[in-house]
Amino acid sequence: MDEFPSSKYQRGKIFAKTGLKVGKNYAAHYLKTLTGRKSEKADVDRRTAEQVFGEFTNLRGTALKMAQTLSIDQGFLPEEFSEVMTQAQYKVPPINRSLVRSIIRRELGKYPEQIFDEFDAQAMAAASIGQVHKGRLKNGQPVAVKIQYPGVRDTISTDIALAGSLFKKFVSNGAHLDDYIEEIKSTLLKETDYIAEGQSINRFHERFASGDIITPEWIPGLSTERVLTMTFIEGVHLSDFLDKTPSQEERNHYGQILWNFFHHQIKDRKEIHADTHPGNFIFTPEGKLGVVDFGCVKSFPQEFFINYLRLLPTHLQQDEEEIIRLYKELDVLKDEPDSNKSEKAIYEFCKNYGYTFALPYIEDEFNFGDEEYKQILAGYTKSAPIFNGPRGSKHFIFTTRVHLGLYHFLMKLKATVQTKQSREIVEDILSMFP
């Protein structure tokens, strides 16, 4: 693709076109139901999602990133929409080579061939905010260079407003998503600041570089807010790793590293890498797990964080009185479930889903390759009761993204992990907050 539509007029026109397609699809579906003709809602959702993805691919940036965030197993959007939008991690067309050269020239002062000993003009990966190129410094150091699409940051406010209006068409009863959208907006603003990401890279490198996790090192002298240069990590992504038919021992090895990485972040009670997507992890030849993207790093308010952790033992103990209290604290429940039929349905669903979600912690090890568990977990998403609007604190957007992302990664890996230490980590933290 040659250009990025950055003007308010260009982007508004594409949003309007997308909204028209969405409206026409659902209007046609409704008309068919009135006339008795068959029209499967799932088919309509998938066709509409594919059209939305096609248009948002042209937009890239905030629109595509927001769609990814809202569609990753949050229960806000139809499953068919979520499945299609996962393509945003892999199938976004890169900007052309001449534009890449001009961006580097503008940001770093020279063309890539003058800065690097080698620079591959063909992007290794292209996603919603930017694309990554492999290069080599004059001293021989391999590097990854992330280039932000021009104008992305300037489009955020406009895109958020337009995309928010569009996504409300997918949510039952036109629910208000303002708090959730504002949370995504603030996260996106930080994600488009590559200096902030470079600083996050440094902090995570200091925390984890001595163990089984390997992170890149930031190169500040070749970075700006829109170009990020870091050391390159050799290895393969999950799909390529699985193509080599690894042994169960290898699957368990990497699965344990990822599981420990997640829980060590909880133990630190500092920042959390909030994008547990397979594209952000590298399986290295040395048996380490590389973490290569730090655009989405989150810190959570202490009260929310502790209550979120309390959900784990509370569900395992099936303490219904405490579960109800926590659900109210976390804004999952609006009223007493015993006196409100709709709240009762939400409570029963969340309680059973929460117990299922906590199962990996009940014994000292858990097999994420268990197909029955995978089907049960997926079944909850499909059978979720219709809410009058999104439920729960806005912080669930990213805690759920991280935690479910971890489970889905491990299920694809079919790894068996030791969970005793992680359960003890949660217990130790909660003991400090009686």
In the chain, where the domains are located: 8-91+153-174, 234-434
Average pLDDT, the chain: 81
73 pLDDT band (50/70/90 cuts)? Answer: very low
pLDDT at 83: 54
111 pLDDT band (50/70/90 cuts)? Answer: very high
Q: Is the pLDDT of residue 160 over 70?
A: yes
pLDDT at 389: 62
Distance CA(369)–CA(306), nearest Å, equals 29
pLDDT at 103: 95
pLDDT at 151: 80
pLDDT at 118: 97
Q: What are phi and psi of 275, to 5 degrees?
A: -140, 75
pLDDT at 61: 53
- pLDDT above 90 covers what percent of the chain? 51
Q: Which of 88-97, 204-213, 290-299 has the lowest mean pLDDT?
A: 88-97
Burial 141-180 (b: 16+ CB within 10 A, else e): eebbbbbbbbbbbebbebbbebbbebbeebbeeebebeeb
Between the CA atoms of 306, 311, 312 and 317, what dihedral angle is there, to the nearest 10 degrees? Answer: 130
Beta bridge partner(s), residue 144: 134, 230
pLDDT at 80: 53
pLDDT at 273: 95
Q: Is the pLDDT of residue 226 over 90?
A: yes
416 pLDDT band (50/70/90 cuts)? Answer: very high
pLDDT at 272: 95
Q: Is the pLDDT of residue 267 over 60?
A: yes
Q: Is the pLDDT of residue 167 over 70?
A: no
User: Containing H/E element for 24?
Assistant: helix 8-34
pLDDT at 28: 42
**Contact in structure between 14 and 59 (CB atoms under 8 Å):** yes
Distance CA(404)–CA(222), nearest Å, equals 35
Beta bridge partner(s), residue 148: 130
Distance CA(17)–CA(23), nearest Å, equals 10
pLDDT at 33: 44
- Which of 163-167, 169-173, 316-320, 384-388 has the highest average model confidence (pLDDT)? 316-320
Tokens matching residue 273: 């890498």
Q: Per-residue pLDDT averaged across 276-301, rounded?
A: 93
Selected residue with higher pLDDT from 144 and 186: 144
Distance CA(344)–CA(321), nearest Å, equals 14
pLDDT at 4: 47
52 pLDDT band (50/70/90 cuts)? Answer: low
Q: In this structure, is the dihedral angle defined by the CA atoms of residues 172, 303, 404 and 50, taken in order, positive or negative? A: positive
pLDDT at 79: 53
130 pLDDT band (50/70/90 cuts)? Answer: confident
Q: Is the pLDDT of residue 16 over 90?
A: no
Q: Strand, coil or helix: what is 143?
A: strand
User: Containing H/E element for 312?
Assistant: helix 302-317
pLDDT at 250: 98
Give the total residue count for the chain: 434
pLDDT at 279: 84
pLDDT at 227: 97
pLDDT at 295: 92
Q: What are phi and psi of 166, to 5 degrees?
A: -70, -45
Q: Is the pLDDT of residue 42 over 70?
A: no
Amino acid at 93: P
**Contact in structure between 106 and 125 (CB atoms under 8 Å):** no
Residue 201: count of CB within 10 angstroms of its CB: 26
Distance CA(227)–CA(145), nearest Å, equals 7
pLDDT at 15: 43
Q: Strand, coil or helix: what is 140?
A: coil
